[in-house]
Amino acid sequence: MVVSVLVEIKFKQIEKTFDYLVPVILQDQIKLGKRVLVPFGNQKLEGFIIDIKNDSNYNLKEIIKIIDKESILNEELLKLGKEISKENLCNLISIYQAMLPKAYKASIKTNIKEKYISYITLTNIQEAELFLINSRAEKQKEVINDLLQENELLKKNYNSNIVKILIDKGLVKEIKKEVYRLNNYEEEKKLNKLNEYQLTAFNQIKNSDKDVILLNGITGSGKTEIYMHLIDDVIKNNKEAIMLVPEISLTPQIIDRFKSHFSSNIAILHSGLSDGERYDEYRKILRKEVSIVVGARSAIFAPFTNIGIIIIDEEHSSTYKQDHNPRYNAIDVAMLRGKYHNAKVLLASATPSIESYARAEKGYYELVKLNKRANDAKLPLVKVIDMKDEIKSGNSIFSKELLTSIEDRLNKKEQVMLLLNKRGYSNYLMCNNCGEVLKCPNCDITLTYHKTSDINRCHYCGYADKKQEKCPKCKVGTLRSFGVGTEKIEEKIQKIFKDAKILRMDIDTTSKKGSHEKIINDFINHKADILIGTQMISKGLDFPSVTLVGIINADTILNLPDFRALEKTYQLISQTSGRAGRSKKEGKVIIQTFNPDNYSIRYAKNHDYVGFYKEELKIRKNLKYPPYFFLTLVKISGKNFDITSQESKKIGNYIRKNKSIDMIVLGPSVSFISKINNIYYFQIIIKYRDKDKCKSLLNDLISITQDNKKINIDVDVNPISL
Ligand code: ADP
Ligand code: ZN
């Protein structure tokens, strides 16, 4: 017997396997998807069995051992990995690794083990009873007495010396039981009854004959409630459910809502877990102890075998696409798994991606609408403030209306959220003499001043430098900070509203485990009046006492050189305003911008998603962007600027020479951020209609450039940003 093994080394070829002979004694344990240890050169490597052949080639080396008792990748996942790697032109081994928790990766030497708890129990009841009569060792008798009442007891609750004596006497034995690090034994709470609008949507989803459904429900319309009813329905039919949410909205709030109904039938997977916790949650799924998983992107690979529904909340979120290799998109994976299991895929959002909405309009997906907020809450009133006018009256950061509205809410003891998509204190530091702007020495990006730590930081490579007063270039001038970040907003607001209690939520305040949850809980419990944050505060949170949301600068995303800039601006405004007025009291949103006439802002003001969609679609058509054309981004990077530039040109020429007529090739051009960590980046954009033709062209390109050591090529199919 011979097996093909995919070893844990990345080759440039997408799928490179090696054949090994299986010793006769191991043959009946061989199964697809198990890992084996094999000799490789003069090393030993782990790899997955991905093919079994019944020939015997005695020139081959033998496998050393089989690692797993059971397959850790079942046949569906093995096949799925191949499909994803072909679609995204990425390495098969890296996809299999992305499917599994770290504990299964040989290349990462972790020490993640099962956790056990020791119990003690009696070896023989009659002997124990005799002991009680005959012995005078009171302390020992107490333990025996307890054990006669209760079959098993936690060992750690008893004096270890006494337990040892009893074990040595043969009266008591120790048993170890595996425990999961995270557990949930809450009482099951009943679900809320759906209101009439929710019920209509629920039935439309359930009865649809399409494989994919797009639920376009406004913020606060009770989509989460519908998900729970759908999942309830699925598990009653003994099937399983996967629900994906963006990482940052995987807050204690949503987890609690699910746990309080589904109790211990649910596994949770997100990046806040320790490796051990993640390993445990994963094994709950493998062992079929749960039938629901709620998690971020990678939870789409949950090893369920009988899926009934896959739900993707906030489907427009860019976090569903992994932004490094393997660059898979969890929504595409959901479609593949849905097809395999004959399960419905539900995409849901208040602001669906233009591509998804277009597919729904064309009838590829079922379109279900939910236009009423649950609990009679109204959508907030949105006010757009033209900051050009404010600057004329001397207000550079906060408009007059924003400040008076904050004051009003503070007086009424209501809560306020302020959003600015820029962390740190200022945007950049500039010399007041020569105009030099302080940049990262490794990246083509300005440094951001962080006042709390008194450090200038690069947000791309993490470079950090002590604050300097003097300009490093002219040595005469002083460095002044320009622009605002969340730290400065916090400082300014505190100065204006001296008695207000303020919380700040951004990457800098949430790096410690549990800090994210703490801020959210403190704000829910009204321990603060104002929450200031980056886009982290825009998603999924449900704070009933928030009646005012301020967007300090709606233009941060608008001005990015990306064809999705307007879509993202619309989403950000609409999602953030969705945090206001979620209960009885009406909410208000204030948007500060220098572009009040931009249509993404105009439509967001009126909560008119479809209006925005129609306008945006026209532009996409004219400029040949998705959904009319597919896009692939080819990134070329290298240590030397000139060489990378030359090689990029050669690659551009190759693509142009071999392209089919329907393809449009743009570039090479220097990437938006041209240098990160001393590596230079160039990019070529390909627009096309025929997927297969483009894939075969890129496959050829990858194999031709395989041995080019001067540069690195990274192909991003359907990129989420340019
Ligand atoms: P969405 O996910 O669409 O933003 P949620 O599901 O979070 O909306 O619902 C908004 C609020 O309304 C939540 O506080 C939720 O508990 C409440 N809610 C939703 N549906 C119902 C219902 N049928 N009965 C009672 N409360 C509901
Ligand atoms: Zn840097």
- The 3-class SS string of 541-563 reads CCCCCEEEEEECCCHHHHCCCCC
- CA of 456 relative to ligand 2 center, distance in Å: 11
Q: Which tops the pLDDT comparison, 461 or 650?
A: 650
What domains are defined for the chain?
2-104 (3.40.1440.60), 115-179 (no CATH), 196-374 (3.40.50.300), 381-423+485-620 (3.40.50.300), 630-717 (3.30.70.600)
Average pLDDT over residues 117-144: 86
* Mean pLDDT (whole number) for 667-681: 89
Q: For residues 263 and 289, is the Cβ–Cβ distance under 8 A?
A: no
Tokens of 119: 């119990």
Q: Could you give the angle at which helices 330-341 and 75-88 cross, rounded to 10 degrees?
A: 140
Residues contacting 192, CB < 8 A, separation 6+: 225
Q: Of ligand 1's atoms, which has the minimum distance to the CA of residue 217?
A: 3
Separation of CA 451 and ligand 2 centre (Å): 18
- Which parts of 412-559 are beta strand (E)? 415-419, 428-431, 448-450, 455-457, 464-466, 479-482, 502-505, 530-533, 546-551
C-alpha–C-alpha distance, residues 576 and 255, integer Å: 21
| Ligand 1 atom with the shortest distance to the CA of 194 | 23
> Residues 32, 81: contact at Cβ < 8 Å?
no
Tell me how far the alpha carbon of residue 412 lies from the centroid of ligand 1, in angstroms. 25
Biggest CA–CA distance in the chain, Å, is 97
Expressed in angstroms and rounded, the spacing between residue 513 Cα and the centre of ligand 1 is 28
Q: What atom of ligand 1 comes closest to residue 226's alpha carbon? A: 6
pLDDT at 189 over 90: no
* Phi, psi angles (nearest 5°) of residue 169: -75, -10
User: With b meaning 16 or more CB within 10 Å and e meaning fewer, what string describes 574-608?
Assistant: bbbbbbbbbbebebbbbbbbebbebbbbbbbbebe
Dihedral-angle region of residue 563 (phi above 0 means left; psi in -120 to 50 means alpha; beta otherwise): alpha
Residue 109 has pLDDT above 60, yes or no: no
Mutate to test the pocket of ligand 1, among 199, 225, 571 (most ligand atoms within 8 A of CB): 225
Atom of ligand 1 nearest to the CA of 198: 23
Q: How far apart are CA 155 and CA 145, in angstroms?
A: 15
Among all bound ligands, the one having the nearest atom to the CA of 543 is 1
Nearest in space to 369 (alpha carbons), one of 224, 201, 221: 201
Beta strands per DSSP E along 561-707 = 588-593, 630-638, 664-676, 679-688
Q: What is the mean pLDDT of residues 130-140?
A: 86
Query: 522, exposed or middle or buried, with CB in 10 Å at 0-12, 13-18, 19+?
Result: middle
Protein residue with least CA distance to atom 23, ligand 1? 194
Residue 525 and residue 520: Cα distance in Å, rounded? 9
Q: Token pair of 139, please?
A: 């302390």
Three-state SS at 321: strand
Alpha-carbon span 614 to 638, nearest angstrom: 41
- Distance from the CA of 504 to the center of ligand 1, in angstroms? 26
Alpha helices, DSSP H only, in 485-639? 486-496, 515-524, 555-558, 565-577, 599-605, 609-622
- What ranges in 354-451 are assigned the alpha helix state H? 354-362, 387-392, 400-411
Query: pLDDT category, 12, cuts 50, 70, 90?
Result: low
pLDDT value at residue 107: 53
* Mean pLDDT on 3-7: 93
> Relative to the CA of 540, which ligand 1 atom is closest?
4
Whether residue 654 is predicted with pLDDT greater than 80 in this model: the reply is yes
pLDDT band at 190 (very low <50, low <70, confident <90, very high): confident
pLDDT category, 112, cuts 50, 70, 90?
low
Q: Separation of 584 CA from ligand 1 center, angstroms?
A: 13
Confidence of residue 106 (pLDDT cuts 50, 70, 90): low
Q: Are 206 and 236 in contact (CB under 8 A)?
A: no
Task: Please tell me the number of the ligand nearest to residue 677's CA.
Answer: 2
Report which bound ligand comes closest to the CA of 349.
Answer: 1
The span from the CA of 719 to the CA of 710, in Å, is: 24
Residue with tokens 């302390």: 139
Closest CA to 368 of 543, 179, 203: 203
The structure tokens listed for 137 are: 């060792």
* Percentage of residues in the chain having pLDDT higher than 70: 96
Ligand number with the minimum distance to the CA of 583: 1
Which ligand places an atom closest to the C-alpha of 253? 1
Instruction: Tell me the pLDDT tens digit for each residue of 384-441.
Output: 999 999 988 888 899 999 999 999 999 999 999 999 988 888 778 888 888 888 888 8
Q: Which ligand is nearest to the CA of 678?
A: 2
Atom of ligand 1 nearest to the CA of 225: 6
Q: Is the pLDDT of residue 216 over 80?
A: yes
Q: How far is the CA of 467 from the centre of ligand 1 (A)?
A: 47
Cα–ligand 1 centroid distance for 552 (angstroms)? 28
Indicate the pairing of strand 630-638 with strand 448-450: unpaired
Picking from 292, 300, 321, the residue whose alpha carbon sits closest to that of residue 76 is 300
Q: Average pLDDT in the 617-636 region? A: 94
Cα of 217 vs centre of ligand 1, distance in Å, is: 11
In this predicted model, which residue has the larger pLDDT, 656 or 427?
656
User: Is residue 250 scored above 70 in pLDDT?
Assistant: no
**76-90, 238-252, 673-687 — which is least confidently predicted?**
238-252
CA of 650 to the centre of ligand 1 (A): 55
Return the residue whose CA atom lies nearest to atom 6 of ligand 1: 222
Select from 575, 566, 629, 571 the least CA-distant residue to 598: 566
Give 446 Cα–ligand 2 centroid separation in angstroms.
Answer: 8
Protein residue closest via CA to atom 25 of ligand 1: 192
Among 224, 228, 244, which is best to mutate for testing ligand 1, by the most ligand atoms less than 8 A from CB? 224
| CA dist., res. 615 & res. 606, Å (int) | 14
Task: Identify the pLDDT of residue 197.
Answer: 95
Three-state secondary structure readout of 605-624: HCCCHHHHHHHHHHHHHHCC
Residue matched to tokens 């070329």:
636
Residue 400 has φ and ψ, to the nearest 5°, of -60, -45
The encoded tokens of residue 557 equal 């995303």
User: Is 642 strand, coil or helix?
Assistant: helix
Task: Mention every residue, 6+ apart, whose C-beta is less than 8 A from residue 266.
Answer: 184, 258, 259, 290, 292, 293, 294
For 210-214, 255-259, 676-680, 686-690, which range has the lowest pLDDT when averaged over its residues? Answer: 255-259
CA 119 to CA 117: how far, in whole Å? Answer: 7
**CA distances, 647 to each of 252, 563, 651, 652, 712 (Å):** 49, 26, 6, 9, 10
pLDDT of residue 155: 85
Q: At residue 368, does pLDDT exceed 90?
A: yes
Ligand nearest to the CA of 445: 2
pLDDT at residue 289, as a whole number: 92
Which residue has a Cα nearest atom 9 of ligand 1? 222
Residue 642: φ, ψ to 5°: -65, -45
pLDDT number for residue 177: 80
> Which among 542, 574, 575 is the best mutation to test ligand 1's pocket, defined by most ligand atoms within 8 Å of the CB?
542
Q: Which atom belonging to ligand 1 lies closest to the Cα atom of 313? A: 2
- 382 in Cβ contact with 405 (< 8 Å): no
Structure confidence by residue, pLDDT tens digits, 567-592: 999 998 888 888 876 777 788 999 99
Residues with CB under 6 A from ligand 1: 192-195, 198, 217, 219-225, 374-375, 542
pLDDT tier at 108, thresholds 50, 70, 90: low
E strand or H helix that includes residue 115: strand 115-122
For ligand 2, a single-atom ion, which residues have Cβ within 5 Å?
440, 442-443, 458, 460-461, 463
Q: Indicate if the pLDDT at residue 119 is higher than 90.
A: no
Instruction: Check residue 500 and give its pLDDT.
Output: 95
* Ligand with an atom nearest the CA of residue 574: 1
DSSP symbols for 130-153: HHHHH---HHHHHHHHHHHHSSEE
The atom number, within ligand 1, closest to the CA of 192 reads 24
d(Cα 245, Cα 314) in Å, to the nearest integer?
Answer: 7
- Say how many Å lie between the CA of residue 440 and the centre of ligand 2: 5
Ligand 2 center to 509 CA (angstroms):
20
Structure token pair of residue 553: 């600068």
Output the CA angle 446-451-457, nearest 5 degrees: 30
Q: Which residue has the higher pLDDT, 209 or 425?
A: 209
Give the pLDDT mean for 31-41: 92
Residue of the CA atom closest to atom 24 of ligand 1: 192
Best residue among 375, 546, 574, 576 to mutate for probing ligand 1, ranked by most atoms within 8 Å of CB: 375
Most confident of 85-94, 361-370, 383-392: 361-370
Q: Which atom of ligand 1 is the closest one to the Cα of 377?
A: 12
Distances 596 to 378, 559, 572, 604 between C-alpha atoms, Å: 24, 13, 15, 11
**Average pLDDT over every residue of 161-183:** 84
For residue 187, name the pLDDT band (cuts at 50, 70, 90). Answer: low
Instruction: Please state whether the peptide bond connecting residue 326 to the residue before it is cis, i.e. omega within 30 degrees of 0.
Output: yes
Distance 196 CA to ligand 1 centre (A): 13
Instruction: Give, for 83, the enclosing helix (H) or strand (E).
Output: helix 75-88
